[in-house]
Amino acid sequence: MQEEKKGLSWLRLILLQIVIGCSLIGIFAYVFRIGIDEVRIVPKESTNRDMFDGVPMSMNITYPGIGTIAIDDPKELIAWKASFSRLLIAGKQQNRANASRLLLSGSIAYLDQEDVPFQIGTSGLSFGSESVNSLEVSAEIRKLQNMLIDKTLTSDTVGAAIENASHEVFSLQDGKLTALSEAERAALTRQMRSAVRLIDFSHFDFMAERPSAHYVVQLTDELKSRKHWLHVDRYDNAYFVVFDLLDETNHKAYFKLSDTS
């Protein structure tokens, strides 16, 4: 009986020590904020360059006054993404405003990330919050902008610009601008929409001649202080040549008129 009481005393003592020990650990953990069995996940800091690791699903490009086109071809999207990435890595970061006369804008949509907006002119490229504008990549920036302009000047977008009632369309002859009638404008829109884009125009020599007709589309611009003109030249009633005076890359888009137009 005495041994049983002695065993119970030892058991109570051990239990008391365990309780005191746990209490002390709890007090120290509270006072010194010591985490017990706590796993903390530190989120990865996302940057615009990380966006290039994502899977691009689509890309839209907006030409001011002309319209917006969408690209969803996977191979083409990867090529555009690589071009943007190469310029951001190679160029020096700049915080000054883009001074280009013509700015194209757009965004890339990703499968697993937020859309990233971009803007490009001859004097710089911005992608999200990053921007580059330096001599090392100036030629590449102009080349990329030229390619984007070429991509957006289609028979549909140019035709829509001619048809858009908020724009004015003129015929230019002997230095005099004459507004087109509704019928003339509708006919020009129909011809432009049905025209076929030409890729290889190196063998054409008609550019040395005067166009048989010259049209000017005054595009509405957010910057009311300046005018934005799109020029459409027609040669031999068979070809259209489209160019923008604000375009510092001097790009021209060539179209062949449809026989049915």
Is the separation of the CB atoms in 102 and 248 below 8 Å? yes
29 or 256: which leads in pLDDT? 256
Look at residue 35 and tell me if it is in a domain. no
Quick check: is 229 in a domain? yes
In a domain, 178, yes or no: yes
Average pLDDT, the chain: 81
pTM here? 0.75
195 inside domain: yes
Q: Which phi and psi (to 5°) does residue 144 adopt?
A: -65, -40
Predicted local confidence at residue 183, as pLDDT = 96
Pair 255, 195: CB distance under 8 Å: yes
Top pLDDT among 114 and 179 is at 179
Positive or negative: CA dihedral 46, 52, 57, 60: positive
pLDDT of residue 170: 97
- Residue 179's pLDDT is 97
Q: Please give the C-alpha separations between residue 96 and each of 33, 83, 84, 120, 146, in angstroms, as whole numbers.
A: 46, 22, 19, 13, 22
The tokens for 216 are 């000017």
Whether 207 and 241 have beta carbons less than 8 Å apart is answered as yes
pLDDT tops 90 at residue 190: yes
Q: How far apart are CA 16 and CA 234, in angstroms?
A: 101
Question: Of residues 70 and 52, which shows the higher confidence score?
Answer: 70
pLDDT(222) > 90: no
Residue 40 within any structural domain of the chain: no
Q: Which residues contact 12 (CB under 8 A, 6 or more apart)?
A: none
Q: What pLDDT was estimated at residue 34?
A: 44
CATH of the domain at 76: 3.30.1490
pLDDT in tens, 108-138: 999 878 899 999 998 889 888 888 887 778 8
Q: Is residue 104 within 8 Å of 63, Cβ to Cβ? A: yes
Q: Distance between CA 134 and CA 111 in Å, rounded? A: 31
Q: Give me the pLDDT at residue 107, please.
A: 95
Confidence of residue 261 (pLDDT cuts 50, 70, 90): low
Q: Could you tell me the end-to-end alpha-carbon distance of the chain, in angstroms, rounded to an integer?
A: 117
Q: Which of residues 85, 120, 152 is at a domain's end?
A: 152
Domain count, the chain: 2
pLDDT in tens, 60-107: 999 999 999 999 999 999 999 899 888 888 877 666 666 788 999 999
Show which of 90, 119, 152 is a domain's final residue: 152
Domain span holding position 177 = 155-256
User: With the C-alpha atoms ordered 218, 220, 224, 225, is the resulting torsion angle positive or negative?
Assistant: negative
The beta-strand segments (E) located in the chain are 56-63, 67-71, 104-110, 116-121, 124-127, 130-132, 168-173, 176-179, 196-197, 213-219, 228-235, 239-244, 252-256
Residue 27 has pLDDT above 70, yes or no: no
